[in-house]
Amino acid sequence: MSAGPRMTPLEMLARLVSFDTESQKSNLALVDFVEEYLTAWGVPVVRAPNAAGDKAALFATFGPVQDGGVVLSGHTDVVPVAGQSWTTNPFTLRVADGRAYGRGAVDMKGFCALALALAPDFQAASLRRPVHLLLSYDEETTCLGVADIIARLGRDLPRPGAVIVGEPTDLDVADAHKSIVTYVTTVHGHEAHSSKPALGANAVMAAAELVAELNRIADRMVARGDASGRFDPPYSTVHVGMIGGGTARNILPKSCEFLWEFRGLPDLDLTEIPALFAAKSEEVARERLNRHGPYGRIETVQDASVPGLAPEPGSPAERLAMRLAGRNRTVSVPYATEAGRFQVAGLPTVVCGPGSIDQAHQPDEYITLAALEAGEVFMRGLIRECAAG
């Protein structure tokens, strides 16, 4: 059953890359293409739009609609290209020297292209165990684009027995990664002449105390280390990435804003660092901002919280991915993924996909043709395994 010709993984990758799906933009043109393509091959598709209606996730099923299947999870959004020096148009796939160049080629439209290009083979295999393809959005910002579909698994959608998130790991099987939680802190002060500090509150100097506290918290995390010995760096990290405030050198700054994050080992209590920071914020507000009067306040807003992935030795997802990838051990990865959200929902999950994260987010991002070939072998192995029951 087909309304058009088959596509090779490279041809499919070229189509996916051609859609500019930077996270701040809509992914609906790509979603429309994928839905039309899969429907033409007789694959049932469920679309899950976001609240604004400008983005959507897709959940497609190959084989019987029943519990116990395997989810292949990939995101459709990519990081921005603004300010990067690309050799050619980042949204036109360029193949040269054994590599396929384009934004998202490795992170992670390559994985998605493999699953989609093999849709006719999944359909023709008379699968006894279903394989589901989940394409999400906003992974590069909040990892929330997968949440609506996850909430439906086991309700009006089949509950899978294993999830493989196809982020680039060179097909190593990753069973652990850190969490990431991001914040915006705004210190609200009160303007006055710099020669009369008692008439106001200096937001920048108060913010400096808070940044210094984050340095102390970071040092505490370094000293605590990584009991598992699996992560690089071997500790939870704390980082301030941007800061700005004030209007002139001789005016007490009215406000100062800084953006910060922590990336926690899987066993880190996600409330610990925010609690330490909140306690310091109360102290700084009381003793610095408001010591001359009720002049200031400190506001911290959480941007995103992505759970870590904790090892589950011998889980169905781990065993399956290791068989398919031909690996005999698991690894950890330093970046966050959607995998933690699946695990929090009680679904056995690993991260395993073609290509290297080293090429992601860079100008002239690429995936090697060899990595695509290895990924196709992985996918065809999954077809055989699920056809056998």
Please give the Cα distance from 243 to 256 (Å, whole number): 7
Q: What angle do CA 11, 142, 358 make, to 5 degrees?
A: 50
Number of Cβ within a 10 Å radius of residue 290:
17
Tell me if residue 175 is catalytic.
no
Spell out the residues 6+ positions from residue 357 whose beta carbon is closer than 8 angstroms to its own.
Answer: 106, 107, 167, 168, 169, 333, 335
How many CA atoms does the CB half-sphere of 388 hold within 13 Å? 6
Structure token pair of residue 256 = 């100062």
CA distance 257 to 206: 11
Q: What angle do CA 134, 135, 136 make, to 5 degrees?
A: 115
Q: Which of 35, 107, 138, 139 is catalytic?
A: 139
Question: Does residue 376 carry a catalytic annotation?
Answer: no
Bond into 274 cis (ω within 30): no
Beta strands 99-101 and 366-368 are antiparallel
Active-site choice (35, 77, 172, 365)? 77
Q: Phi first, then psi: what are they for 174, rounded to 5°? A: -95, 125
Q: At 30, list the tokens.
A: 């790509």
Q: Where are the beta strands (DSSP E) in 195-236?
A: none
- Widest pairwise Cα distance in the chain: 80
* Residues, the chain: 389
DSSP symbol at 287: I
Cα angle, residue 188 at apex, residues 185 and 189 outer, rounded to 5°: 140
Gyration radius (Cα) of the chain, Å: 24
CA dihedral 350, 71, 124, 13 (to 10 degrees): -80
The candidate with the shortest Cα–Cα distance to 205, out of 298, 274, 273, 294, is: 298
Neighbours of 271 (CB within 10 A): 10
Residues involved in catalysis: 77, 139
